[in-house]
């Protein structure tokens, strides 16, 4: 055979071994090797399909995405397993995902290691299992369970897999040896394709589809996947396969699947920095300054990954409260079944309070998460510079402030960088890593390594006000605010962007974050230069009235006690009319299409400037930031992918339209957009000339 697929005839059992590290992806050589190996099955009484390494087949070979297919295809290989003259048993360990699970379903039997998991994650790429999974799984597990797996995208445990009928037995020891013993006891072929069609429980089916549509609002893959799974109950097996293939091919060529596939690769690319060869420093003890919501979340993120964390707050009462909040969050997770109580308390115990700044003396990395004011952060870094080891890396969690200015106040600016977490830091996956002018390669590599260790998606940004995400958000929020002053109600603006796919509109989001945050930030900026005062006039007046958003029960919207649901407020409507009149504006209807277009074009134009200036390494990094930090719908790929879908010429034409209508102050097209429109280029294909 080959180095990837080999066989062993052990008495009456043919063992087919696959060794395609790191995850035994189902590439062409694997498919060809397994198909060829099955030709020797006639000399045996049974076959066991086994993968070396840490996992069974974990899915398709992503390096083949977008390339012409090479035979045998995955359906061809599965058909060969199914048509093998003797029973075939899959020995599953690690993960059997997507095509890996479909391969296992092509076997007659499945033995699964107790710690293994199986699933269909394709929905996260805007598609669904396309190699017979939607037809075979329901014949074993039924329609509701298959729909849940297919539309949810999350893997199930070995025990669940056996319970719903996907697998036949659990292995508590060597899964290969147990699978061989199991296979020798099976004398009959048991092809899944020959099993009866699943019964149609319409009530359960409708419930699963409704839940999926709520979770995956706007994703067309939900309807397509549901149609494919339901075909297993209404069509013959072969007709069901044809229906699955028809739906799959239509979906995979669509814009949503293309967007989600592109984002999948972008998230794996974002942590790579061209020319960075330094190796990360090994981290042991991690320090966190500040015990508020952000500091506590950062501490939990590291504790969850097994790190010991030293946390300090200059206010002892705040530290005590912060630790109590952390403990409560862990115990709440245990009550919800996300972890055992013992694990919750173990994670909490990894977070150790420090009595003074000296507690950071042994830390390898210290991250400050204190109030967003330069004088406060500068004072923190003065103390850290005094007590931290000379080789320790010091990071600021600032959302806006100048990392270079913070670094300039220290003795060794090369060890200073930004690590901008998104709240709640123990949940949100995005981490903006801000590389200062003097940040060393070793410090950057270590921050990137730390992000990987704690399960974050890192994006490297240069230094500017707001970095990538918050800098772009400024234009998005500006246009939303101006639309309100021009005549759209807050709920009109929010609904338009919610319908586009955002999890909430910009005005409801401002209430959630706290209107005073932007108010305080603008106090250090120049009106008319750094921001448009008319766009924030409503926000500022509301803060001065004591209406700061959800935390005070009223902001742009009002909130009932204990509720986060925004309720339109006539007081605010009157205030909008008053402010609009004060500023000499004549209100008009602002339609949803204009609201969405202006907000998105503002994002895109600022993103183009960020690329030109070298703040972001690549357009896809901007998309990663917006999909993971700001709720930009994944099925639209991110603002820069969306711009490529629209075309640079169209983007330029629409920006120039608003430039004519509103003037050049905020509507001057970025030179990069002009360049791409002239040469037919794309953001994804653009590279900076060094």
CATH fold for the domain made of 469-592: 1.10.1040
Distance between CA atoms of 624 and 217, rounded to whole angstroms? 19
Predicted local distance difference test score (pLDDT) of residue 690: 62
Predicted local distance difference test score (pLDDT) of residue 352: 97
Under a CB-based contact definition with an 8 Å cutoff, are residues 327 and 300 in contact?
A: no
Which long-range CB contacts under 8 A does 307-310 form with residues at least 24 apart? Answer: 307/283, 307/350, 307/453, 307/454, 308/284, 308/350, 308/352, 309/285, 309/350, 309/351, 309/352, 310/285, 310/286, 310/352, 310/353, 310/354, 310/359, 310/360, 310/362, 310/363
Predicted local distance difference test score (pLDDT) of residue 60: 82
Average pLDDT of every residue of the chain = 95
Domain boundaries, the chain: 5-253, 285-461, 469-592, 596-679
Which residues have CB under 8 Å from 481's CB, separation 6+?
Answer: 532, 534, 535, 536, 537, 538, 539
Q: Name the DSSP class of 554.
A: B
Over residues 19-56, the pLDDT tens digits come to 999 999 999 999 999 999 999 898 899 999 999 999 99
Looking at the predicted structure, is the pLDDT value of residue 557 above 70?
A: yes
Q: Name the DSSP class of 24.
A: T
Q: Does domain 5-253 sit in CATH 3.40.630.30?
A: no
Under a CB-based contact definition with an 8 Å cutoff, are residues 280 and 445 in contact?
A: yes
Buried b (16+ CB within 10 A) or exposed e, 413-430: bbbbbbbbbbeebbebbb
Under a CB-based contact definition with an 8 Å cutoff, are residues 314 and 382 in contact?
A: no
Buried b (16+ CB within 10 A) or exposed e, 122-158: bbbbbbbbbbbbbbbbbbbbbbbbbbbbbbbbebbbb
Over residues 581-635, the pLDDT tens digits come to 999 999 999 999 999 999 999 999 999 999 999 999 999 999 999 999 999 999 9
Predicted local distance difference test score (pLDDT) of residue 70: 85
Mean pLDDT of 332-348: 95
Looking at the predicted structure, is the pLDDT value of residue 64 above 90?
A: no
Distance between CA atoms of 128 and 121, rounded to whole angstroms? 8
647 φ/ψ angles, rounded to the nearest 5 degrees = 95, 135
The model carries a pTM of 0.93
Over residues 456-505, the pLDDT tens digits come to 999 999 999 999 999 999 999 999 999 999 999 999 999 999 999 999 99
Confidence of residue 1 (pLDDT cuts 50, 70, 90): low
Confidence of residue 62 (pLDDT cuts 50, 70, 90): confident
Looking at the predicted structure, is the pLDDT value of residue 353 above 70?
A: yes
Q: Is the peptide bond before 72 cis (omega within 30 degrees of 0)?
A: yes
Looking at the predicted structure, is the pLDDT value of residue 522 above 90?
A: no
Can 469-592 and 596-679 be said to share one CATH topology? yes
Predicted local distance difference test score (pLDDT) of residue 59: 87
Mean pLDDT of 666-679: 97
Looking at the predicted structure, is the pLDDT value of residue 156 above 80?
A: yes
Under a CB-based contact definition with an 8 Å cutoff, are residues 357 and 363 in contact?
A: no
Q: Is the peptide bond before 22 cis (omega within 30 degrees of 0)?
A: yes
Predicted local distance difference test score (pLDDT) of residue 108: 98
Tokens of 465: 């006000």
Predicted local distance difference test score (pLDDT) of residue 521: 82
Looking at the predicted structure, is the pLDDT value of residue 365 above 60?
A: yes
Looking at the predicted structure, is the pLDDT value of residue 239 above 70?
A: yes
The CATH number of 285-461, from 3.40.50.720, 1.10.510.10, 3.40.50.1000, 3.40.50.620, is 3.40.50.720
Percent of the chain with pLDDT over 70: 99
Confidence of residue 381 (pLDDT cuts 50, 70, 90): very high
Mean pLDDT of 120-132: 96
Nearest 10 degrees: Cα torsion 266, 270, 274, 280: -140
The CATH number of 596-679, from 1.10.3720.10, 3.40.640.10, 1.10.1040.50, 3.40.50.720, is 1.10.1040.50
Looking at the predicted structure, is the pLDDT value of residue 67 above 80?
A: no
């Amino acid at each position: 055979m080959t180095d990837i697929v080999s066989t062993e005839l052990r008495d009456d059992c043919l063992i087919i071994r696959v060794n395609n590290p790191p995850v035994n992806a189902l590439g062409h050589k694997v498919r060809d090797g397994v198909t060829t190996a099955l030709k020797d099955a006639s000399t045996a009484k049974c076959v066991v399909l086994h993968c070396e390494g840490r996992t069974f087949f974990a899915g398709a070979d992503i390096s083949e995405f977008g390339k012409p297919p090479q035979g045998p295809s995955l359906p061809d290989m599965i058909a060969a397993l199914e048509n093998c003259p003797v029973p075939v048993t899959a020995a599953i360990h690690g993960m059997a995902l997507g095509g890996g699970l479909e391969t296992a379903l092509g076997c007659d039997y499945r033995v699964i290691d107790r710690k293994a998991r199986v699933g269909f994650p394709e929905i996260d790429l805007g598609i669904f299992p396309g190699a017979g999974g939607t037809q075979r799984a329901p014949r074993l597990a039924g329609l509701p369970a298959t729909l849940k797996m297919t539309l949810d995208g999350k893997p199930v445990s070995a025990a669940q897999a056996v319970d719903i009928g996907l697998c036949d037995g659990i292995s508590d020891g060597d899964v290969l040896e147990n699978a061989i013993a199991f296979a020798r006891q099976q004398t009959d072929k048991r092809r899944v394709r020959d099993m009866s069609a699943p019964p149609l429980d319409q009530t359960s089916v409708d419930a699963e589809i409704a839940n999926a549509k709520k979770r995956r609002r706007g994703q067309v893959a939900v309807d397509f996947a549901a149609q494919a799974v339901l075909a297993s109950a209404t069509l013959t097996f072969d007709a069901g396969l044809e229906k699955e293939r028809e739906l799959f091919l239509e979906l995979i060529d669509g814009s949503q699947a293309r967007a989600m596939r592109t984002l999948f690769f972008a998230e794996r690319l974002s942590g790579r920095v061209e020319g960075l060869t330094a190796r990360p420093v090994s981290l042991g003890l991690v320090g966190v300054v500040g015990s508020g919501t952000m500091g506590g979340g950062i501490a939990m993120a590291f504790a969850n990954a097994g790190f010991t964390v030293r946390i300090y707050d200059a206010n002892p009462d705040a530290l005590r409260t912060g630790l109590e909040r952390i403990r409560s969050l862990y115990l709440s997770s245990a009550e919800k079944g996300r972890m055992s109580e013992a694990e919750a308390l173990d994670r909490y115990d990894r977070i150790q309070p420090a009595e003074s700044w000296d507690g950071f003396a042994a830390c390898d990395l210290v991250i400050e998460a204190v109030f967003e004011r330069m004088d406060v952060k500068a004072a923190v870094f003065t103390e850290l510079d005094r007590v931290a080891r000379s080789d320790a890396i010091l990071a600021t969690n600032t959302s806006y402030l100048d990392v270079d200015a913070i670094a300039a106040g220290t003795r060794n600016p090369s060890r200073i960088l930004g690590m901008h977490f998104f709240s709640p830091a123990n949940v949100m996956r995005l981490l903006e890593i801000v590389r200062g002018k003097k940040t060393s390669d070793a410090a950057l590599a270590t921050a990137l390594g730390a992000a990987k260790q704690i399960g974050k998606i890192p994006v490297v940004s240069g230094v500017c006000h707001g970095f990538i995400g918050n800098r772009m958000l400024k234009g998005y929020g500006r246009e939303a605010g101006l639309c309100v002053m021009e005549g759209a109600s807050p709920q009109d603006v929010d609904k338009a962007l919610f319908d586009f796919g955002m999890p909430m509109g910009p005005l409801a989001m401002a209430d959630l974050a706290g209107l005073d945050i932007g108010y305080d930030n603008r106090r250090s900026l120049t009106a008319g230069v750094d921001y448009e005062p008319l766009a924030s006039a409503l926000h500022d007046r509301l803060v001065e009235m004591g209406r700061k958003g959800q935390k005070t029960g009223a902001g742009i919207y009002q909130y009932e006690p204990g509720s986060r649901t925004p309720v339109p407020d006539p007081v605010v409507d009157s205030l909008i009319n008053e402010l609009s009149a004060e500023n000499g504006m004549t209100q008009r209807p602002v339609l949803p299409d204009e609201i969405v277009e202006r907000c998105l074009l503002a994002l895109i134009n600022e993103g183009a400037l960020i690329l030109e200036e070298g703040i972001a390494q690549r357009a896809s990094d901007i998309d990663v930031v917006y999909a993971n930090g700001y709720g930009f719908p994944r099925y639209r790929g991110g603002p820069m992918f969306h711009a490529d879908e629209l075309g640079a010429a169209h983007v330029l034409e629409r920006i120039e339209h608003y430039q004519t209508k509103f003037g050049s102050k905020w509507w001057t097209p970025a030179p990069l957009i002009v360049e791409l429109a002239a040469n037919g280029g794309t953001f994804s294909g653009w590279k900076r000339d060094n």
